[in-house]
Amino acid sequence: MTTNSSDTPQARLQALGLSLPVPASPVANYVPWTRAGNLVFVSGQLPIGPGGAIEPAHKGKLGASVSVEVGQAAARAAALNVLAQAAAASGDLARLRAIRLGGFINSAPDFASLPQVLNGASDLVAAVLGEAGRHARFAVGVAQLPLDAAVEVEGVFEILD
């Protein structure tokens, strides 16, 4: 079976006008990803912009100073960083199958649109990985995130041989 080069994760990224950022280095005593057998566990990633600056591109609380649309953009940016870490672990996006994404949403106590915010991450992973991007997930509202980031996303991927 031949793979159409326009139907690869890399081609899908380019069609979206995106490219994988350089995987961020950890800022504390942890690793950005770890592998157990064919599973890769990616540590929580913030919506750090493509320049790699430590400051998140999207800050603040959903339901207070941050809209759902901005939260979705933050989730997309964080998911792009998750994909960059997973690609570093596997050597190639085409070898990945998403198992689960988890999202932590910096939110006001009465903010109820957590799933809609995390859709930004889920939609991006599905768009880039195609059918292999369909995944289980969780979305949790939290009182605070590092650096006042609006969203943090983590992921579990299978490396296909």
Residue 97 CA, distance from chain mean position: 14
The two three-digit tokens of residue 5, written as one number: 């080069």
- 52 — pLDDT class (breaks 50, 70, 90): low
pLDDT of residue 1: 39
Q: Is the pTM of this model over 0.85?
A: yes
Taking the C-alpha atoms of residue 105 and residue 74, their distance in angstroms, rounded to an integer, is 10
5-24+32-159 — its CATH code?
3.30.1330.40
CB distance 133 to 61 below 8 Å: no
% residues pLDDT > 90 (the chain)? 86
Rounded to the nearest integer, the mean pLDDT of the chain is 93
Domain extents for the chain?
A: 5-24+32-159
CA end-to-end distance (rounded Å), the chain: 15
**Residue 123 clears pLDDT 50, i.e. is over it:** yes
Q: Is 78 left (phi over 0), alpha (psi -120 to 50) or beta?
A: alpha
CB distance 74 to 149 below 8 Å: yes
Q: Other CB atoms closer than 10 Å to residue 141's CB: what's the count?
A: 20
**Residue 2 clears pLDDT 50, i.e. is over it:** no
DSSP secondary structure letter of residue 60: S
Taking the C-alpha atoms of residue 148 and residue 49, their distance in angstroms, rounded to an integer, is 15
pLDDT of residue 12: 97
Q: Look-up: residue for tokens 């649309």?
A: 69
